[in-house]
Each structure stands twice: as structure tokens, then as C-alpha cells.
Chains A and B, each alone.
Chain A
């Protein structure tokens, strides 16, 4: 660990890391600014300031966010899920976000500019962002939020066979919601007087989210664009359903890439309804191809040292 911190100190991009020792005055200041955070937050911050060990970052960031979340919403942070959304789930508005940023800057002794913050939507985004900043790594592509209109405009699959109402896509994976309305045509016959979402359609919905990831995730080779016409289902493994889903249920779908290498992309996927596990798929594999024309501006920094290096990061995360 000490070695890791030393190498971070020496990293040319780690401009946020000053080389000055952690004085008693620094400690007093740290205690003061973190006085409304939990004790583990202060402990983690103090350890980080002494050792520069980035393993402490999640505890610091989570502790600072918790301090600014209204007490009745803090229970959500007990078992923190990286998919928790800052605005919708935690009630953090843009001004509170600025308060969080200022305290993070104070504690970690770094500066963050507004442009970098604009796309942070989830707890996971924030943690990864701070981690990259402190390590001096290039910043991850921000999570994109797609409402139904935008999903329909990019997908080769269309209503009435599109089972995503809204989605968030980042280079790490994608999540989406689908509310079973009861109006789906197949529910008339599945089953007689007993509408239940078919398991095959639930798997289809996960597959559709994987398609959206290929089109919008930006996790593939820079400069290359996936041709929507080339994406097809190949195989799936380890599919298990745990709960019947009926009209009124909101399916929360998530997928993460396991292997991405043209022409195959393999994902793991899960569906939850509230706190219940509804279905999992250990592997869903799609085939895909690139579009001929590649004249699209890449949002990635040109100096990225080859995309294969960033891929393992995505899979490990």
C-alpha cells in the first residue's frame, strides 16, 4: 500500500497531491471541517492525508455525501449502491453538490472545476471521479441519461417491442427501468386471466439494454461507431428467474460488460423489483459490427494510451 501511494506521488499527473507533511494544525482543521461527518469519515481522511492511500477515498466521499443528505434519506447510504442517483434518490440539488465539492476539496486538498462535475449522476460516478482525480488518471466518460424518446431514436428495436422506459449508460455499464403497464399485447395470452411478464421478455429487456450500451456506452474502440443493424443475439448462460413480475411492477435492469471484442460482446445482467431479485443472467452475448464511416468526433482524450488498457478497468469496476 505504501508503495502504491509513493508511486501515486510520483505520477506526473497527480497535481492534486502536495508533498507537504500532515501537521497537527492540518489535523485540527480536518477535525473542524469534518465535525458533522461520521467518525470513520474523519479517520479515513486522516489516514489518506498521512499515507495518500487511495483505498480510503470511498469512505471519505461517502461520509461527506452522507453529511449533506437529509437525515430521513440517510438510510439509503447504509448499504450504499453505486447506482444510487444523487438527485432523484438522495435529494442532493446542484447547490448541495457544490457544498459537497467544496468540502471534498478542503479535505483532499484538490480543486475540481464545474465542467468536470456536470455529468456526475450517481454515487458510483462520484467515487470513480474522485478516484481518477486523486490518482491523476484521465476522467471517465460521464453517465448519460436517456429518456424514452432518446432510447427510441437510437435503438434498432421499436415499440411495441421496446422494454426500456429510461436508461443511464456509462462506460462501466448501463441501468434502466421498465414499468409493466398491463397493456403489453402478449399479456392477454400470458397467461389466461393471469397476466405475468414472460421470462423470455425479461431476458429480451436485458438484451435491449446491452444493445443500448453498445450504441451509447462509448466503451469500444475510439473513433469506431457500432452499426445498429449489425447487433444480434448470440447466446445466454445461467439464466434464473426468482420472482413473477406483473402489471404495476417496475423492473430495474442493469448490465455490465464482461468481454468486449469485435464481433462479440458478453454481459452479465440482473433485474430487480424494489428490493427483490427478479432475474439474473450470468452471460448474455451479442454479436456486433462497426459502421463503415467513422467520421465521428471522439469524446475521449486523444492521448488515451490505447483502449485495451481502459477495458480491464471497465470490467474490474
Chain B
């Protein structure tokens, strides 16, 4: 099996739109939350969002959108994109530049792209409303490719002339971790030499507010308190959007190109709860099994793990499930790894989360630090017995796990390491 490395990262996130800015936010525990203007209505009890800065994508008309001037995106490209399509396009350009890939290295039979997003309920709603009021023949010709799940892979694969493997993943909040896992496998098995992995979400009214119906969102109006995984006062997650693009390459390609690496993707594991469509297993059964698979298949002893980037979204039930799973996988309290959830800084990116947090772990491995837990004031007693760190630790981790869990009880654990 070929070794697989992360060689490039592109980010559009609530805590920064490039790797240095994001690294600083992670170290300094600087969050990306703001009181979100579209939520400031009497009938909307949710107030805070992890906002994307430097972009304006609220309009239904893509020609009204604003984005950083260093990107120039043609209308014929924008017209088939959702807001998160634009984020991925810009993040993709940054990831390609970060990995120092030539056009030929992006477009060939050995380079593929896996993507995950929830689609764009924002645009889909608008197009359906237009169809219902004006008639079916007045639907925008690109309405479907811009709005349905899969929009990210449709757009990026065509615009970047990707010729290798491509598809989308739909396991909700585990989606882009699944994408990383299968991209790793394609390279490890020699099917592909290089894979782009993309996670993204609009992070606007229509993609976040529907979660209010299942009482999953924090109603906290103070941006400094809204997202606090493992804290006794947590009351739900804070939504966010953006895009994360990872470049995964085989060791042969890394050597041939003389590429700089962030870290190795050592392997992964996945397992399902088989329990409830929307609620995680109370003991974190599936997540525990996913972590155990990941450790076993990468020949990693639990004591060797230095840091776990927890899925913990700041919901009352989910964080406890994960704490139980972690206690089961790491029974020796003296050697338990540092645990934190960077969702305390970014909010929950849904399909974006797995790829974004993999990027965070890769940055922590390269730069040699372990991001702490922002906003954790009173640890929930149900989450005790773990090494949930408060402040950022200056020491370099060697082995890192990144957990993700999605609807239907899908769980993924990715193993990253640096020798």
C-alpha cells in the first residue's frame, strides 16, 4: 500500500480564508461567530452564525456576489454555482497554489476529486418558487446543477478539467470525512496518484435554520458563548459554511515533485450506530467502533495518539455520546490523548466539517501545536475522565484522530500522523 500525504490546503472558513490566518485563529482560540443579520427577527430564536468574511453571496443573482479581488470568476462559471460553489472554487485555487501543482498535474487520469455538501437549499427554494410561479419552462437552465447535492463535484470537476475518479458523498456531517477516507484508499491502492477532497456548505439561512426544528441549534445570542462543546451550559450547535479543499498525494508523487507535506494520512475507520435517524447512540457505539477500526488498521496503539479533534458539536446529547466512546477507546487515564473540538471556534460546518477539521489537524501537525477548547468554562460532569484541554498546547502532536458523525448514525475516524 502506498503512503498518502496531505500536500495542499485551501480554506474559506469562519476563522480565516487562508492557512496562516486559520493557524493563528486555532492557536489563539479566536472564534468566527457574529450576530447574523438575517436571523435578527422576532420569530427567529437563533441569532449567531460562524460567518464567512470577505464574501457576499446573499443574492439569488450570482452576478451580485462579491468575493476577494485576487480571484476573477467568469459569469459562465458562477451561473452554475451555489454560494458554497464559489467558496470551493476559490479554496480549490488556493489548494492548487499551496501544493504547487501545474495545470497538467491537476488535469490527468491519475488525479481525481471527491466532494461533499448538502446542496443549496437557498437556491433550490428560489428555483422551485420560480418554477411554481412562472412555469416549468422558465426554470434557470443551470438551476439544478447549482443547487442539488453534488453541485460541488459537478462544478469543480468540469471547471478544473479533472479526469480521474470523481463523485460526491452524502452522509451529512460525516460526508467529507468519508470523502477523505475513500480518497486515501484510492491512492493507497494505486488507483489514483492524487485526489482533491472538498467539503463545503452555504452556511446561510436556508441551510442552517431548518435545524432549529429539531432543536439542535444554540439559542445563545452572545457570540462568545454560543458554541461550547463539552460545557455544562451548551445548548446546541452554531451553524457555519465555507469550503475546505485538501490535496492528497501518493508518496511517489510527493517524492517526484519534491512536495512539502503537512502530514501523512495513515488510514481510517468507519462504523454505524444502527440506532436512530437523527440521534447519536447514547454510548457512542458506532463512533467507538470507527475509532477502533481506525487504530487497528493503521497499527496504532491507543497510547500513541496525542490529540483527538472531536466531532463534538455542542449539542447536549451528541457530546456525551462522544465522551463515552472516547473513554471506551482510551481506557488508561494517564495516557489519554488531548481532546478538543474546534467547533467551539468555527461552528458546525455539516458536510464541510470533516474536511475542514482534517485541514486543522494537518496544520497543527505541521506547525506543532494542539488547539485548545474555547469557551469551556464548566466541564459537563458527563464528559469527565478525558483529557479535554482548555488552552492551546505548544507541543507537536505525532498522531492525531479526527472524528465525524452524521445523520443515520454514520461515524468516521481519520488517522493523521507526522514522523
Over the window 87-107 of chain A, the binary record of Cβ atoms lying under 8 Å from chain B Cβ atoms (1 yes, 0 no) is 000000101101100100110
Is residue B327 contacting chain A, with contact meaning CB distance below 8 A? Answer: no
A310 — which chain B residues lie within 8 A by C-beta? none
- Complex Cα distance, B141 from A78, in Å, reads 28
Q: Are B138 and A102 in contact (CB under 8 A)?
A: yes
Segment 94-148 of B: residues with Cβ below 8 Å from A = 137-138, 140-142
Q: Most A CB atoms within 10 A — which of B74, B76, B79?
A: B76
- Complex Cα distance, B140 from A93, in Å, reads 15
- Complex Cα distance, B143 from A98, in Å, reads 12
Is residue B75 contacting chain A, with contact meaning CB distance below 8 A? Answer: yes
Q: Are A95 and B63 in contact (CB under 8 A)?
A: no
Is residue A70 contacting chain B, with contact meaning CB distance below 8 A? Answer: yes
Q: Are A102 and B63 in contact (CB under 8 A)?
A: no
Over the window 60-96 of chain B, the binary record of Cβ atoms lying under 8 Å from chain A Cβ atoms (1 yes, 0 no) is 0001000000000011100100000000000000000
- Complex Cα distance, B140 from A113, in Å, reads 15
A136 smallest CB distance to B (angstroms): 20
A113 — which chain B residues lie within 8 A by C-beta? 137
B77 smallest CB distance to A (angstroms): 11
Q: Are A106 and B76 in contact (CB under 8 A)?
A: no
B137 — which chain A residues lie within 8 A by C-beta? 102, 105, 111, 113
Q: Please tell me which one of the listed residues B74, B75, B76, B141 contacts residue A98 in the complex, with CB atoms under 8 A apart.
A: B141
- Complex Cα distance, B142 from A98, in Å, reads 9
B138 — which chain A residues lie within 8 A by C-beta? 102, 105-106
Q: Are A70 and B63 in contact (CB under 8 A)?
A: no
Q: Are B74 and A95 in contact (CB under 8 A)?
A: no
- Complex Cα distance, B138 from A99, in Å, reads 9
Q: Which residue of A lies closest to B63 (CB)?
A: A36
Number of residues from A at the complex interface, CB < 8 A? 12
Q: Which residue of A lies closest to B135 (CB)?
A: A111
Q: Which residue of A lies closest to B74 (CB)?
A: A70
- Complex Cα distance, B75 from A36, in Å, reads 12
- Complex Cα distance, B63 from A99, in Å, reads 14
B141 — which chain A residues lie within 8 A by C-beta? 95, 98-99, 102
- Complex Cα distance, B256 from A131, in Å, reads 62
Q: Are A99 and B79 in contact (CB under 8 A)?
A: yes
Segment 219-238 of A: residues with Cβ below 8 Å from B = none
B76 — which chain A residues lie within 8 A by C-beta? 70, 93, 96
- Complex Cα distance, B138 from A270, in Å, reads 41
Q: Are A95 and B75 in contact (CB under 8 A)?
A: no
A36 smallest CB distance to B (angstroms): 6
- Complex Cα distance, B144 from A98, in Å, reads 14
A102 — which chain B residues lie within 8 A by C-beta? 137-138, 140-141
A172 smallest CB distance to B (angstroms): 29
- Complex Cα distance, B75 from A96, in Å, reads 10
- Complex Cα distance, B61 from A36, in Å, reads 11
Q: Which residue of B lies closest to A99 (CB)?
A: B141
- Complex Cα distance, B138 from A102, in Å, reads 6
Q: Which residue of B lies closest to A71 (CB)?
A: B75
- Complex Cα distance, B407 from A309, in Å, reads 69
Given A99-B79, A99-B141, A113-B137, 17 other A-B residues pairs in contact with their CB atoms under 8 A: A36-B63, A70-B74, A70-B75, A70-B76, A95-B141, A95-B142, A96-B76, A98-B141, A99-B140, A102-B137, A102-B138, A102-B140, A102-B141, A105-B137, A105-B138, A106-B138, A111-B137
Can you list 21 A-B pairs with a CB-CB distance of less than 8 A? A36-B63, A70-B74, A70-B75, A70-B76, A93-B76, A95-B141, A95-B142, A96-B76, A98-B141, A99-B79, A99-B140, A99-B141, A102-B137, A102-B138, A102-B140, A102-B141, A105-B137, A105-B138, A106-B138, A111-B137, A113-B137
A-binding residues in B (CB < 8 A):
63, 74-76, 79, 137-138, 140-142
